[in-house]
Structure 1
Amino acid sequence: MEFRKATKRDLNEIVRMLADDELGAKREKYEEPLPEAYYHAFTAIEEQVGNQIILAVEGESILGCLQLTIIPGLARQGMKRAQIEGVRVDKEHRGKKVGETLFKKAIELAKSEGCGLVQLTTNKARTDAHRFYDKLGFTSSHEGMKLNL
């Protein structure tokens, strides 16, 4: 397994994985051609310093993905933090340590950027994901809140 930064040519496969679960199926729109909104969002990610989608790949196959954003801040004495979002492992590759290895790579990248912590949010319904994050050493230290606009 290798890792690389996603490119626009990977978008179809990334969106397919984002849509391929119970919650994602309700919020994503995986169709051919992909809605332009995905291309605009990907361009914005590429243009923002410290923001990228990391892929776990084997040959030409994408096994999993996550978005890693480095966030500079004033809190905690100017500490940078890394935010992980949009984590998915292709259903054919679940249970093969793809997610764990992908997270280790993201954490390694966060450390190399001088981050003092890695944070993520996870839907309360994703109990399997909660066990996975606990196993990786994440703690449920804060209550997350969202406001849909």
Structure 2
Amino acid sequence: MPELPGLDGRKMSKSYGNAIALGMTADETATVIKRARTDSERTIAYDPENRPEVAGLLSTAAIVLSRTPEDIAAEIGSAGAGALKEFTIEAVNEFLREHRARRAALTYADAATALREGNARAQSIAQSTLDEVRAVMGMLY
């Protein structure tokens, strides 16, 4: 997908306040989705031009479920915006469940080790590149 839509149908952005951060808990994700704007029409339909907020929620659910927004809209039908939000919450939280479990298993020691190893590898590559540049320039001392 070239551009991930936000919960309001615009592009997803922290500055717009329409994003779901990967670091959010399941409850935080639910809160953000529940606060998403919708409209007063009871029947859920995918119409990005006229109903961008509903389309944003449908797109979010569609992306994580590998389905089309139209298919999800047809499934929800006249159940309303509350059902759409609950559907989207469940879909997003299920999609992020494994990510959250892996993230919870990481410790600060794991992060520190990864940083140290990455730093050592970067220094080795940089030193090799500098040696090569110095050799080409005839600056070996």
| TM-score, scaled relative to structure 1 | 0.24
Q: Which protein is bigger by CA-based radius of gyration?
A: 2
| TM-score, scaled relative to structure 2 | 0.25
